[in-house]
Copies of this chain bind each other. A is one copy, B any other.
Amino acid sequence: MKYEVLVIGGGGASYPGAFRLSKAGKTVIMADPKGVLGGNCLYQGCIPSKTIREMAELHLRSKRFFANISPNFELIQDHKDKVQEKRFKQHDEEIKENNVEFVKGEVQVTGDKTAKIIGEKEVDVEFNYLILGTGSEPFVPRIPGSEHCITSDDLYKYKTEIRKLPSSMVIIGGGYIALETATIFKALGTEVHVLVRSDKILRSIDQRLVEILKKMIDPEIDIKFNSPVLEVEKNGNELKVTFSQKGEKKEIITEKVVMATGRKPVLPKGFEKLGVKVSQKGVEVDESIRTNIPYVFAPGDVNGISPYFHSAVRQSLVASRNILTGRNTDFVNFSSIPVTVFTIPPIAYVGIITNRDSSVIEASYKFERDSRAQIYDELEGEVRLFFEKGSLRALGGWVAGIDAPSLINEIGYAVHNGLTAKQMAEFADQHPMSNESITNAVRSII
């Protein structure tokens, strides 16, 4: 059948654009093997992991002020599943509201502008435009015994079988999934070891910020640097992780081993027929989300530029806008997309957060002086803002500590809209909220 747009995938990279196009009168067919919208994010990614994270943080705070409560992990997992179900249902309603045809199934590209959906039904599709929102999946390196390991998908997925809190856990990797999982499970009571291949965690993030995080996280989390894993062995209910450290073999006995060694793009079968360029990082697109093949757009994780749900949604809308106007009229401002590492405590940043050439003025405020941080007795961390010298335009900022994932949006507004320190300093952030630390930082230089 002929459709103006074929959308592969049902996540944040796919449905926002699909809905827009359908509303504008385009015929749209969307396919996803999961048969539900929301993509990895909802099925096994940010939504379930952040549900558990919030419960873990709530538990820590309650313990701090009220009593030594033990969290019930099974109840937490039940709550997580319910949140996921609520959203699956919500998305089902949206499909109907937006009049998009949605098919549960895998897509196989069969030609230049043709594909086949193989799933609950088989559909031959001719299309004028293709939105490739296929996302990414965990990359599991070949290590002897890697079959005994789980990934974050297993921990967080809908109806996961892991409903009992692991007493101990080895996490392999030093990226954001590794660190988030480490701090969340530590907060819930698991003994956590993190094995990092190199001497750095969160390598893609400015290391000044990472250093702050390292001081903030629970010191009982055992992070071993320069410790590549050699083998994972199963002995009954136990796993033995062997790793190398300074040329010596060492081992840890643990209940669970979580591989958090990065993610890789997912491409549909027959993808090569399209002639779309793919690099190491993913499908190549620029800010217009268009690939080298003008009728193919690749928003979201599949392009590897900014693998976050909120970024994927914006990318999807940009792709749909450019399909509607027939040329590149909308662009993603990647430099204003906030990034959060949802550790406990969290860090978040947006835009330019370095000062390589002294063309930047920094402004900061420590949370130890912030009312809300004091109210919660979470005094570590800071807000730090970066302004262009001369114009005083906001270039970027970070928040380490309390409310980081929320505060970063206010800073992101400044960066996204080219606001100046003066404009920011004249705004009166609500007292006594941690947003005041943004005001206080910027007023310190004005």
Contacts and interface: CB of A to CB of B under 8 A. Distances in A.
B434 A406 contact: yes
A114 interface: no
B326 A428 contact: no
Nearest to A436: B310
A147 interface: no
Contact of A435 (B41, B65, B409): B409
Given A66-B59, A433-B405, A428 B314 contact: yes
A411 to B, nearest CB: 10
A278 interface: no
B410 A413 contact: yes
Interface in A54-101: 54-55, 58-59, 61-62, 65-67, 69, 71-72, 75-76, 79, 83, 86-87, 90
A433 B416 contact: no
Contacts of A420: 423
A239 B72 CA distance: 43
Given A338-B429, A417-B423, A376 B54 contact: yes
Contact of A430 (B41, B376, B389, B408): B408
Nearest to A439: B310
Nearest to A429: B409
A287 interface: yes
Interface string A422-442: 110011111111111011000
A23 interface: yes
A109 interface: no
A313 interface: yes
A240 interface: no
B405 A430 contact: yes
Contacts of A389: 286-287, 331
B428 A392 contact: no
Given A87-B374, A324-B325, A309 B432 contact: yes
Contacts of A340: 430
A405 B41 CA distance: 27
B46 A431 contact: yes
A24 interface: yes
A258 B403 CA distance: 33
B432 A47 contact: yes
A390 B335 contact: yes
10 contacts: A47-B375, A66-B69, A87-B374, A310-B430, A317-B443, A332-B390, A393-B418, A409-B410, A417-B418, A417-B423
Interface of A: 12, 20, 23-25, 41, 46-47, 50-51, 54-55, 58-59, 61-62, 65-67, 69, 71-72, 75-76, 79, 83, 86-87, 90, 286-287, 308-311, 313-314, 317, 321, 324-327, 329, 331-338, 340, 348, 369, 371-372, 374-377, 389-393, 403, 405-410, 412-414, 416-420, 422-423, 426-436, 438-439, 443, 445-446
